[in-house]
Structure 1
Amino acid sequence: MLATLTLLLGLPLALSIEPPSCAPLVPVTFDNTTIPTLLGQWFYIVGASRYPPHLAEMKAVTYAAFSFSPGSHEDELNVTEVMRLNGTCLVRNSSKIQVSHENSTMAHVDENRVVSMARLIQSDKDLLILNHINIDFPSLSLSARTPNVSKEHMEEFKAHLHCLDLTEEDMFDTSTKDACPLPGEKTGEGDTDPQLK
């Protein structure tokens, strides 16, 4: 999850590029048709933040995938997470997402306490761009249905970063080379099942 630096070639080129205009991040309005579209497998691609606890976690996580399944009521999703944290594959299936229709937020709840809160930003149906809002620091993350995203989708994410006054130096990405087996997936020779956390 190393920050990627873009080098500009020459001052004339830099001067001719206008910074992207910043429209407000538009959250998804949740309804009974929206929530089912979130179900299934997602891969965490990249996050950016200046919030110290998030920074520490983003540096330690080199791979993460998660899946949403229906919860005990229509505004709740069960979450199963698989991640490589400090070199060890872990599985966690004790958390939930509570979706609020009133303020279009998603609250990540673990052991009955809200761990984080975010707004899902309008984008491609195969992307989850989350603007984390319960902290005083700008934080944004990108997950997708596949372990890799297109250049265009990454540029969209970077444009949102720019509008939150975050830079590519604030980004920490994951890598498929650090992938952990997903729950129920056969592991190859020498692989070990992820530890349940």
Structure 2
Amino acid sequence: MALPWALAVLSLLPLLDAQSPACPNFSVPITNASLDQISGKWFYIAMASRLPGFKEKASEIHASFFFFTPNHTEDRILLREYMTIGDQCLYNSSSVKVHRENGTLSTSEIDGEYYDHLLLPKDPKTFMLASFPEDKQYMGLSIFADKPEATPEQMQQFYVYLSCMGMDKSEVIYSDEKKNVCLPLEKQHDEERKKEEERSETGTALD
């Protein structure tokens, strides 16, 4: 009786394997084309993280959007980020290091350097960042889109990657664009930049 049962189980293995979500390659080299694809304005949509203390901090962020300005020659990205925490808008400008060969981006924090694997799904209007993808205790995944709300198809791709890493939907924290209070500050910064550009152009013309 044991042999037929075992054969039946073995015959199902290919089917079960075919139904399991395919994991992305977490170490795809970053190219100039990759950097061009993530250049511009992006909105934080959702994230899941098992890094101790990080989930608590992330849950305080109601909404966030940012601008990526890559520098191909220096392998850095200028980051300008607007975060809504509580009823306040926090603005931060920093530099992100690009590690082309292993496909990661890193930022320097007070307690060390944090690395994320850059994932570029088929939909160029989204990208994801995976942290510690092979460590069940610390892993995390975030999704960003070029609009404040992701489409069902975009979220499904996020869930597929999440499932393949071994994480569950119940671990996901979502942003809430309705609580975004940073738009006035963004507008103020835009106006200041335009004035600076006009002054620069005027000075060049006078020269």
Q: Same fold (TM over 0.5)?
A: yes
- Report the TM-score range of the alignment, normalised by the length of the smaller protein: 0.7 to 0.9
Residue equivalent to 1:105: 104
Q: Give me the whole-angstrom Cα distance separating, in 1, the residues matched to 2:78 and 2:111.
A: 13
CA shift for structure 1 position 186: 5.6
Residue 79 of structure 2 is aligned to residue 79 of structure 1:
yes
Residue equivalent to 2:35: 35
| Structure 1: gaps of 5 or more residues | 1-17, 188-197
TM-score, scaled to structure 1: 0.75
1:175–1:64 distance in 2 versus 1, CA, 3 Å: same
- Map 1:112-127 to 2 at 5 A: 113-114=112-113, 116-123=114-121, 124-127=123-126
1:161 alignment partner AA: L
When you count helix as a share of all residues, which structure comes out higher? Answer: 2
Residue equivalent to 2:54: 54
Q: Any idea what SS the aligned residue of 1:24 has?
A: coil
Question: Is the contact between residue 132 and residue 140 of structure 2 (CA under 8 Å) also seen in structure 1?
Answer: yes
Residue 159 of structure 2 is aligned to residue 161 of structure 1:
no
Q: Give me the whole-angstrom Cα distance separating, in 1, the residues matched to 2:45 and 2:24.
A: 19
1:142–1:20 distance in 2 versus 1, CA, 3 Å: farther
Q: Give me the whole-angstrom Cα distance separating, in 2, the residues matched to 1:41 and 1:183.
A: 15
Q: Give me the whole-angstrom Cα distance separating, in 2, the residues matched to 1:34 and 1:138.
A: 23
Q: Give me the whole-angstrom Cα distance separating, in 1, the residues matched to 2:63 and 2:139.
A: 22
Q: RMSD in angstroms over aligned alpha carbons? A: 2.6
Q: Give me the whole-angstrom Cα distance separating, in 2, the residues matched to 1:40 and 1:85.
A: 23
| Structure 2: gaps of 5 or more residues | 1-15, 190-207
Q: Give me the whole-angstrom Cα distance separating, in 1, the residues matched to 2:35 and 2:60.
A: 30
Q: Any idea what SS the aligned residue of 1:117 has?
A: strand
1:122–1:68 distance in 2 versus 1, CA, 3 Å: closer
- Map 1:154-193 to 2 at 5 A: 154-179=155-180, 180-181=182-183, 183-185=185-187
Residue 97 of structure 2 is aligned to residue 89 of structure 1:
no
Q: Give me the whole-angstrom Cα distance separating, in 2, the residues matched to 1:57 and 1:111.
A: 15
Superposition misfits of 4+ residues, deviation over 6 angstroms: none
